Amino acid sequence: MEELKQQLAEILTPDRKDRSQLIPILQQIQGKLGYLSPEAMLAVAEFVEIPGSTVYGIATFYNQFRFTPLGKHPVKVCMGTACHLAGGKLVLEAMARELDIEVSGITPDHDFSLDRVACIGCCALAPVVVIDDSVYPRMTPPKVEEVLVSVKPASQEQSEKQ
């Protein structure tokens, strides 16, 4: 809680105590924390003096805001038109199954988070998945496991477990 307060202190400066600042503030917090936590949103609500429900209502209105933290390796599955036609949905489902989380979710160890995104501009390589900053072209469901292991080798997982 104290840590959050410190992180927010730089963003919630007295000159921004106005509800017109709400969305820029939320964007900056997401930029800093990677997502909007209930605690952060409540702090913003208190700061700009509007109800918590209103902040939540506004934040959920926009697709740009996320309410779960990003994983160490954020997985983005493209669902733009080209990727969608090339079977992006199957890739997304396979990814969710493999990671055992829902779309917009995060694994319990916070290694991976899974999101669907609109076009990322690699239509020629469709369907694509982006993990960290690498683009994985021409994805298929069987390739999902392989890609995930390449990002975080099983051995590493093993050693971590021990």
- The site for another protein (CB under 8 A) is made up of 38, 41-42, 45, 49-57, 60-61
CB 78 within 8 A of CB 126: yes
Q: Please report how close the Cβ of residue 63 comes to another protein at its closest, in angstroms.
A: 9
Long-range contacts at 52-59 (CB < 8 A, ≥ 24 apart): 55/22, 55/26, 58/22, 58/23, 58/26, 59/26
Q: Compute the least distance from the CB of residue 47 to another protein, in Å.
A: 13
Nearer to another protein, 60 or 81 (CB): 60
105 CB-near residues (< 8 Å, 6+ apart): 68, 113, 114
| Cα–Cα distance for residue pair 124/121, rounded to 1 Å | 8
How far apart are CB 64 and another protein at their closest, in Å? Answer: 12
Shortest distance (Å) from residue 102 CB to another protein: 15
d(C-alpha 101, C-alpha 60), whole Å: 20
Beta bridge partners of 115: 76
Q: Point out which residues pair with 74 in neighbouring strands.
A: 113
Q: Given the complex with another protein, which of 52 and 141 has the nearer CB atom?
A: 52
Nearest distance in Å: CB 100, another protein: 23
Q: Which is nearer to another protein, 32 or 61 (by Cβ)?
A: 61
Of residues 10 and 49, the one with the C-beta less far from another protein:
49
Closer to another protein by Cβ: residue 53 or 140:
53
